[in-house]
Chain A
Amino acid sequence: MADRAVIGVFEDVDDAASATQSMLDNGISGEDFDILSSSPFPHGSFGEAERHHNLYVFPLIGAACGFITGVLITAGTQISWPLVTGGKPILSIPPMLVIMYEGTMLGAIIFTVLGVLFESRIPSAGPRVYDPRVTAGYIGVIVSGAEEMVRRAAQIMTDSGAEDVKFDEEGKTINLLEDPEDQ
């Protein structure tokens, strides 16, 4: 049986929180639902499961790459063009440190940003269900999984005061980039 997804759109945050609470009470785990919001909430506000990530690895890799590049550029340049200037040795460590440092930090920053995008799973064509009202302050609760569970969740959300409950169309995702009036 194919997975289904449903989104419940709540105007009131408390309604959304009570919906997720009753979902948890009814055996739908924090892994099965996701919250869409227009700004971050303290973790666990909706009883959602912790999302694990490996972001911290990225800056380390980036820093290593940047550092190595810095070493290669500075050492390589001085060796390739061994001209003594200002009485300093050909491989002058202090000046090299400056460029190695900038390289390290540049690598770390670039990789961090890439890591943020990768770990956020963007760019993406959008989730299977979405509602533009989310960015206007509504709370979206997405449940995806087995059809039976999704239907049960939809019922809970309707009962908890969801303003709108929308299912994904089978085999088709709702395209974010379409104009809202077309949807």
Chain B
Amino acid sequence: MAEHAHAGHVAPEITARQTIEDATRRVVSTGAKFATLDIALGVLGAIGLIALVLNLIIEGTGNREAWGYTAIVAGYLMSSVLSAPILAVLLRLTRSDWRRPLSRIAEIQAAAGIVVYILYLPLFFAIPEAEGRFTVWVEWPWGAPGFFSAVVLGLLVFGGYALLYISAIPDFAIVRDRSHDNLPRFERYSRLARGWYGNLRQWSVHRAGLGVLGGAYLILYIWTVSLFFWDFGLSLVPSWRSSVFPGFAAMSSLQTGLALIIVTMYALQRWGGLQDYLTWDYFWSISKLLLTTSLLWFYLWFSEFMIYWYGRKPDEINVLELVMFDVYGLPMLLTFLLNFALPLFILMWNRVRKTIGGPTLVACLVLVGTFIDRLRIFGAAWGVENPFAHEMEADNIPDFLVPSVLDILIVIGSLAAAAFCVRMALRIVPLPSIWEVSGGIGLRVRRQYLNHPVTVIAKPE
């Protein structure tokens, strides 16, 4: 790691040909290198699905407590796999040069979107009607919250797949053109590539399409996270009327998405043969964002805490007792450490940020921390007995939501299923994004400046 920290260190020169080789290898070969892992993930995922169905049969949708842990893992996956593509969108929007090997890693997480949707299906029925509760659906005539939430989430999940697909079209064409020896694969990728030849017109449409789709995904994501954390979390707890909460949820999701990307980057460079692409300087760049989001996590959390603590309205203090101090005090403490304190004290050192291990460690902490945070939020919310009460009274503070065996199976199974979806996507979609990485090769040149070599980055509009 020491040599990584050296300032003038640059990534090994990568050629376009090598990028094609590396990115298509995983798609072209049918090697069984990680077959055991894939099978294990698939089996666990299937068990999770069975547990979900069993839960539906045994508990029905009337007993909200029985769905608490489903809400927790659904919220967690929404915060992680569905928020990861945002990084690709943001970095493309700001034309950051360092996005190139990262954007596909971000987009591919959306392959697990279907898992999120399946998890929410029973929740749409289990959530109580909006009338008489503190939800965004003030006096909404019909279909709230279940139906509209289903539509909004459907759009988001579809948007994630669309973003992954559209971004990968030029790369599918590359696989197609290298599959003349293998007819089924050729046909499959011909269908995926949709007649892509990469003429100027196609590139300009592709660019515009990605821009529009990315912008739409970004806005839709912020809106969906705000809505879901409000409707399926906040609104179930009487007196929890914290207007910063949707913003907190969005920021915390962004942090989790970044963490997921970093962990995936680590896995790919360690075991996926991408060590030439995912060098320390990419970890360095993304770790600054992780640090920033960790600080903002604290800021938005403190904004909520301070107002309630200082205002000292009895019902609001009861909410604090529930979600921060008494019932979910330990989860709060853990998430505070894992999502803010430890990331701050580890990543504040530039020397640590300039390594691969440091950011990865913090990313793991954040991934665990966010799960605990979702446990705190949705556990508290789904344990409330009467969400229609006007105020949270001291007698009505619910107990900690203890998971059943089915809950545990659902949680483990969903996480495995999400990982399984991403693993399967990796077998279809080339990674890293060939067109972005090779497109950046000409734009990043080493030049001699006086007695010293420097990196020059061209910025075409």
Contact = CB atoms under 8 A, between A and B. Distances in A.
Interface of A: 13-14, 17, 20-21, 41-47, 86-88, 94-95
Given A86-B312, A87-B312, A94-B310, A17 B451 contact: yes
Given A43-B452, A86-B310, A94-B310, 14 more contacts: A13-B450, A17-B451, A21-B451, A41-B450, A42-B449, A42-B454, A44-B8, A45-B450, A45-B451, A45-B452, A46-B451, A47-B451, A86-B312, A88-B310
Contacts of A43: 7, 452
A44 B309 contact: no
Interface of B: 7-8, 305-306, 309-310, 312, 449-452, 454
A47 B451 CA distance: 6
B10 to A, nearest CB: 14
Nearest to A87: B312
A94 B306 CA distance: 7
A14 B324 CA distance: 63
B310 A44 contact: no
Contacts of A47: 451-452
Contacts of A94: 305-306, 309-310
A114 to B, nearest CB: 21
Nearest to A41: B450
A20 B451 CA distance: 9
29 contacts: A13-B450, A14-B450, A17-B450, A20-B451, A21-B451, A41-B450, A42-B449, A42-B452, A42-B454, A43-B7, A43-B452, A44-B451, A44-B452, A45-B449, A45-B450, A45-B451, A45-B452, A46-B450, A47-B452, A86-B310, A86-B312, A87-B312, A88-B310, A88-B312, A94-B305, A94-B306, A94-B309, A94-B310, A95-B310
Contacts, number: 33
B19 to A, nearest CB: 28
B236 to A, nearest CB: 26
Closest 3 CB pairs of A and B: A44-B452, A17-B450, A45-B450
A13 B449 CA distance: 11
Contacts of A88: 310, 312
Contacts of A42: 449, 452, 454
Contacts of A20: 451
Contacts of B8: 44
A43 B310 CA distance: 51
Nearest to B349: A56
Nearest to A14: B450
Contacts of A87: 312
A141 to B, nearest CB: 12
B140 to A, nearest CB: 37
Residue in A20, A44, A45 with the greatest tally of chain B CB atoms within 10 Å: A44
A140 to B, nearest CB: 15
Contacts of B449: 42, 45
A88 B312 CA distance: 9
Contacts of B451: 17, 20-21, 44-47
Nearest to B7: A43
Nearest to A50: B7
A87 B8 CA distance: 58
Nearest to A16: B450
Contacts of A41: 450
A13 B306 CA distance: 57
Residue in B7, B8, B312, B449 with the greatest tally of chain A CB atoms within 10 Å: B449
Contacts of A13: 450
A28 to B, nearest CB: 14
